[in-house]
Amino acid sequence: KNQVEQSPQSLIILEGKNCTLQCNYTVSPFSNLRWYKQDTGRGPVSLTIMTFSENTKSNGRYTATLDADTKQSSLHITASQLSDSASYICVVSDRGSTLGRLYFGRGTQLTVWP
């Protein structure tokens, strides 16, 4: 069964600190992996998209890594800000159909304290 598992389920850090969120997946065949940020009461917003051949991709203070061999990805947040408080969702797409089916993780709830 194709799955996407994220850890930790929740995380609290102090403003200015760094953190790393994890995503493990079993989706096969693999097409791409996406990280989304979802603020409370809002829809998810895309942060990064990585294909099989990409190991690292950055978007400002967000850096995603991908190891397609071990089927693991991480999202590193540098110098956290209060506005980083949100749920971070890992989404993996397969190549099984023209639609590119998406598999969603349950998200990591990040809280940044002042």
Using CB under 8 A, list all residues that contact other proteins. 4, 9, 31-32, 34, 41-46, 49, 51, 89, 93, 95, 98-100, 102, 104-107
- Of 44 and 77, the one with the shorter C-beta distance to other proteins is 44
- Of 45 and 82, the one with the shorter C-beta distance to other proteins is 45
Residue 72 Cβ vs other proteins, minimum distance, rounded to whole Å: 18
Indicate left, alpha or beta for 35 from its phi (over 0: left) and psi (-120 to 50: alpha): beta
Residue 19 Cβ vs other proteins, minimum distance, rounded to whole Å: 19
- Of 43 and 114, the one with the shorter C-beta distance to other proteins is 43
- Of 10 and 81, the one with the shorter C-beta distance to other proteins is 10
Record the tokens describing residue 105, joined without a space.
């993780």
Parallel, antiparallel, or unpaired: how do β-strands 62-67 and 86-94 relate?
Answer: unpaired
Residue 32 Cβ vs other proteins, minimum distance, rounded to whole Å: 6
Residue 16 Cβ vs other proteins, minimum distance, rounded to whole Å: 26
**Which is nearest to 99 in space by CA: 21, 9, 31, 37?**
31
The helix (H) or strand (E) run that includes residue 88 is strand 86-94
d(CA 30, CA 39): 27
DSSP state of 29: S
